[in-house]
Structure 1
Amino acid sequence: MLQIGVIGAGRCDEKIYRTAFRVGQLIAERGHVLINGGLGGVMEASARGAKSRNGTVVAVLPGKMDYCNEFSDIRIATDMGHARNVIIVHSSDALISVGGGYGTISEIAIALKEGKKVASLYPPVVIDGMKVFETPEEAVDYCISDS
Structure 2
Amino acid sequence: MRVSVVGGGTITAAQERTAVTVGKTLAANGHTVVCGGLGGTMEAVCRGAKSADGETIGILPTDRRADANEYVDTAIATGLGHARNALVPMNGDAVIALAGSAGTLSEIGFARVYDRPVVGIDTHDIPGVDAVDTPEAAVEALEAAVC
**Partner of 1:117 in structure 2?**
117
The CA distance in 2 between the partners of 1:116 and 1:5, in whole Å, is 10
User: Structure 2: which amino acid aligns with 1:61?
Assistant: L
Distance in structure 1 (CA, Å) of the matches to 2:14 and 2:56: 22
1:20 matched residue in structure 2: 19
Residue 63 of structure 1, CA deviation = 0.3
CA distance in structure 1 between the aligned counterparts of 2:80 and 2:40, rounded to whole angstroms = 20
2:32 maps to: 33
CA shift at 1:109, angstroms? 1.1
Residue type of the alignment partner of 2:104: T
TM-score of the aligned structures, taking structure 1 as reference length: 0.95
Aligned pairs for 1:51-70 (under 5 A) are: 51-65=50-64, 66-70=66-70
Matched residue pairs, number?
A: 145
**Structure 1: unaligned runs, 5 residues or longer:** none
Residue aligning to 2:87? 87
The sequence identity of aligned pairs, in percent, is 39
What is the CA deviation profile of residues 16-73 of structure 1, one whole-angstrom value per residue up to 9, with x for unaligned ones?
A: 0000000000110000110000111100000000000000000000002241110000
Structure-2 residue corresponding to 1:143:
142
Cα shift readout 1:74-113 (whole Å, capped 9, x = no counterpart): 0000000111111111111000011001000001011112
Q: Which of structure 1's runs of 4+ aligned residues deviate more than 4 A? A: none
- Which SS does the other structure have where 1:145 is aligned? helix
Task: Tell me whether 1:73 sits opposite 2:73 in the alignment.
Answer: yes
Note the C-alpha offset of 1:127.
1.2
Q: Name the CA distance, whole Å, in 2 between partners of 1:82 and 1:139.
A: 26
DSSP 3-state at the match of 1:103: helix
SS of corresponding position for 2:137: helix
Q: CA offset at residue 129 of structure 1?
A: 1.2
Report the TM-score, using the length of structure 2 for normalisation. Answer: 0.95
- Preserved contact between residue 117 and residue 145 of structure 2 (Cα < 8 Å): no
Where in structure 2 are there 5+ consecutive unaligned residues?
none
